[in-house]
Amino acid sequence: MLAFHHEQPDRVPLHYFDNPNLNQRMKTHFGLSSNDEEGLRQRLDIDFRGIWLPYNGRRLHTEIPHRRVDPAWGRRTQWIEHESGGYWDYCDYPLKDAPPEVFDNWPIPSPDDYDYAIVQQVCKTHPDKAIYIGGPGSADVMNFSGMLMGVEQMMMEIIDPDSPLQRFADRRVNVQLAELERTLELAGGRVDFLWIGEDLGTQRGPAISMDSYRRFLKPRHQRYVDLARAWNIPVMMHSCGSSSWAFDEFLEMGITAIDTLQPEAADMSPAYLKSRWGGQLTFHGCISTAGPVAYGSAEDVRRNVRETLDIMMPGGGYCLAPTHCLQDNSPTENVLAMFAAALEYGRY
């Protein structure tokens, strides 16, 4: 929390995300069981823990052979192989070209359909960790809608004020906000920040216009920020790609921390971000999953971590994390080098 308030902690806070193949390799390296997520985070000295509410409502969307169908929202995924393993990727797009009545009647869960018993359990188990609610998939209109209707149609629908997507997005926002508020109440002041997300950039620049962001996304994002303000907790925004074009908008809304920070994207280098917003925004990320961690040597990784820390550490306001889930093509020794270097060079 010192880092979030631009004060210098004893060391830079650390966060970790991974894909399944790498996850199992890391656990094997440490001699952990395949389901010991907490053990892995302890071995890496990770300072964050999230509250993820399990869905325990009835299945609202029918299962389909050779697919995973989200029981609550109906997103569909299929297994896609790649050179390093594979993962479940979105497919079929059940709302593509759907008429308005299908959108308006698409089954969605109730806030009552989630298991809130986990809230106090996480808070009591981790008294010395930063507890967050939400995540990169909270508040995201574009990403989530693209998973159900495909990216091309989503990009057209978000600029149409009469599109049924506008009503669908608000239905989802209402459910999420109710879940988050109930979680905050049960946590009794133990939640440290709210994490939301919306991928706003390509690798070269904005994915949408500023006008589109202000008209269709910003008002919905503002509702999450207002909830966090009511509970006096900061908000961190996840946004992949070249997203710095929207950072002043975030600040105006009350968002004070930014996640992902892909250094290879336009206007996203650590030096640029620190010089432009270092006194206003907390940065979370910067260690590229498409950089030395994936393609370099362990020594390259150590050098990259040290260079990033040299830029981002002064004055506080930085949490070291990968720019996305560490991918399966990242050698185990490189991931170990990343966190070892962070602990070695990240002390004030």
197 pLDDT higher than 90: yes
Separation CA 166–CA 66 (nearest Å): 31
**Hey, what domains does the chain have and what are their CATH numbers?**
3-62+108-345 (3.20.20.210)
Q: What is the mean pLDDT of residues 78-107?
A: 94
Q: Counting beta carbons within 10 angstroms of the beta carbon of residue 275, is it exposed (0 to 12), middle (13 to 18) or buried (19 or more)?
A: exposed
Local confidence band at 311 (pLDDT 50, 70, 90 cut-offs): very high
pLDDT at 253 over 90: yes
DSSP per residue over 316-335, as a string?
Answer: S-EEEEESSSBPTTS-HHHH
Digit-coded pLDDT (tens) for 6-46 = 999 999 999 999 999 999 999 999 999 999 999 999 999 99
Q: What is the mean pLDDT of the chain?
A: 97
Q: Measure Cα distances from 248 to 131, 164, 253, 277, 280 in Å.
A: 26, 30, 9, 9, 10
CA gap 348, 210 in Å, rounded: 38
For residue 229, pLDDT beyond 90: yes
Q: What is the pTM of this model?
A: 0.97
CA distance 262 to 119: 31
The whole-number pLDDT of residue 348 equals 96
Q: What is the pLDDT of residue 212?
A: 96
Cα(286)–Cα(309) distance, integer angstroms: 10
Categorize the per-residue pLDDT at 109 as very low, low, confident or very high, splitting at 50, 70 and 90.
very high
Q: Is the pLDDT confidence value at 281 over 90?
A: yes
Helix, strand, coil % over all residues of the chain, rounded to 5:
45, 15, 40
pLDDT at 85 over 90: no
Is it the case that residue 82 has pLDDT exceeding 90?
no
Task: Please report, rounded to a whole number, the percentage of residues in the chain having pLDDT higher than 90.
Answer: 97
> How far, in Å, CA of 225 to CA of 218, rounded?
10
Residue at token pair 């985070």: 41
Please tell me the distance from the alpha carbon of residue 281 to that of residue 260, in angstroms, as a whole number.
Answer: 13
Contact 247, 279 (CB under 8 A): no
Is residue 84 pLDDT above 90, yes or no? no
Report residue 87's pLDDT band, with 50, 70 and 90 as the boundaries: confident
Q: Decide: 93 and 150 in contact? Cβ < 8 Å.
A: yes
Q: Is the pLDDT of residue 86 over 90?
A: no
Across residues 255-281, what is the average pLDDT?
97
SS3 for 287-309 is ECCCCHHHHCCHHHHHHHHHHHH
Q: Given this model, what pLDDT does residue 264 score? A: 97
CA–CA separation, 152 vs 162, rounded Å?
17
Region 261-287: mean pLDDT is 98
